[in-house]
Amino acid sequence: MRGFRAGAVGVALALAMAGQASAASYSVTNEYANSSQLALIGVTPALQANANYGSGIVFGVIDTGALAAHGDIASGVDRVDSACTITSPACANSKALTDDNGHGTFVTSEIIGRANGYGVVGVAPLGTAIEMKVLNASGSGTTADVAQGIRLAADRGAQVLNLSLTFLPTSDIVSAINYAASKHVVIVFAGGNSSQALQNNGFIRGFTDQAISQLFFMGSTNANKVLSYFSNTPGIGGFISTSGKTYSFKDHWLMADGENLWGAYNKGTGLFLYTQLSGTSMAAPQGAGAVGLLAARWPFLLNTNPGGIVSIMMQTAQDLGTSGHDKTYGSGFLRVDLAFQPVGQLALATSGSVTTSSASSSTATVGGETRTNLAGTGIAAGGPLGNLANIKSILSGIVAFDDYHRDFNIDLGGAVMTRRTGSIVVPFQPLSTRTVQRFIEFDNGGHLSYVGEMARPTFDPEQGTGRHALNGDAVLRPTPRQWAMSLTGNGTYTGAGEGSGAAMSFSEARWIGENAFQGSDAEASTALLSLVADMH
């Protein structure tokens, strides 16, 4: 059987870690500073809290086992479902919790290291780890053991698998990955430390389309996001699925800082010892942890679209190198913060009489709820929208959905115009020799307004009484009455009026205009227009 090597840089893993563990060699009380790779991928305590710190997500760590008693992972390692699959020499399941190498302990702390204010912290610090010991003390193992570890982890409830070891797509490994993918598991592999293109730019066969959609690789950069000298690259190779479809490695490849990271150390008598390691092995756990956070925030994705999680991460990665997905950096640098933002077009859940109308709108049903894409659409309502203050409150708590049906809270309340505070009394004043206005604005934004013509005779004084009709009476000139009165409160207009000037004011009020009932211009108005949206 072909052998494996855990993917950390060094003559051998045991030597790579020897002499580097020292609780006094760095600030053990500033765990986020010690885990500086988190900031680079956009993981903050606030973002972790938004996903409940990965609580409820089970990670399968296919590695050298783990020192389950280490203070940073003790409460997160599953002591029942962890297993040892090494066939030569044979070992009991309990040995998965010993880790005679150290690599698995380090990797586990990167994923689920507890946020306890001490040492290091993982990407998903409230996740659970199932340890599958498939590598021995020297970091080697067989494809049969690795394949068995993948199957066991999937059967025992792992939702995300981290394989910080060499990617060898033998028939037993391919079959095991296809099996895990069929159980909605996402699989993360270290890209390798041979400074070459993955699979020497070749194409591999045997994976199902589902497995490919749920599988990705992690390459390594330094803290400046420059390719590590040892890191493999995606190259120009890829997959040819069992259905005959072709996929590029670069579309299933992300980068993360993998140089000189701190992690839990399995040696010594203390339970809070740490060491530094470099390699794509150290980048992969960041990708696995990111999957866990996304799955914890939107659990339905694992059951309905685990490949969607991978797609989201690839779309939101920070582009490096050549524009777009390239043969060196793949999809780019992992950015969990961007993955937690909407992807594609937002949609609103619709109910009642509020609908959307657009040739480009689309709907989908998730969990029995209809969600309508509002891109480029307008909202129509069957009647007046009502109290604007209430509408503003409602719009401040809108829930929208992106292309992957993930929910996001958005605040549209700012789109509703608000009135200035304070009371302003405008004194009775003539607008012309015949028109007067009275206007009072209240603290709550409401106002009382009157605009109208002054009392005037029903005959034209400029003509005097010298002209007479044929019957000898004075010429009467009935005057069209022009007046409008309004009272507003909490965004609702109540008004009455007569004449074209009133029509203009009502039209202005309909559109929440600033000048409604504050003036009139008979010549500027042509019609009353519709006072509600559905009047024709």
Q: What is the pTM of this model?
A: 0.71
pLDDT of residue 398: 78
Backbone φ, ψ for residue 165 (5° rounding): -150, 175
The pLDDT, as a whole number, for residue 535 is: 38
Instruction: Give 6: exposed, middle or buried? Use CB within 10 Å, 0-12, 13-18, 19+.
Output: buried
- Contact criterion met (CB below 8 Å) for 108 and 264: yes
Q: How many CA atoms lie within 13 A of 13 on its CB side?
A: 30
**What confidence score (pLDDT) does residue 89 get?**
80
Question: Are the C-beta atoms of 216 and 249 separated by less than 8 Å?
Answer: no
Chunk the chain into consecutive blocks of 10 residues (it has 536) and report each block's average pLDDT, rounded to whole numbers: 46 29 49 96 97 98 95 95 89 92 97 94 98 95 96 98 97 98 98 97 98 98 97 98 98 98 83 92 98 97 95 98 96 98 81 37 45 42 53 72 88 58 43 56 64 51 46 50 68 68 62 52 39 39
Q: Give the whole-angstrom CA distance, residue 458 versus residue 448.
A: 29
Q: What DSSP string runs through 331-390?
A: T-B--HHHHTS--S--EEE--TT-EEE-TT--EEEETTEEEEE-TT-EEE-SS----HHH
Query: What is the per-residue pLDDT for 30?
Result: 86
pLDDT given for residue 435 in this prediction: 57
Cβ neighbours around 157 below 10 Å, total: 14
pLDDT of residue 348: 74
Residue 211 phi, psi (nearest 5):
-60, -40
Contact status, residue 521 vs residue 435, Cβ threshold 8 Å: no
What pLDDT score was predicted for residue 259?
97
CB 103 within 8 A of CB 64: yes
> What pLDDT is recorded for position 28?
62
C-alpha pair distances (Å), 302 with each of 76, 165, 208, 468: 21, 24, 17, 93
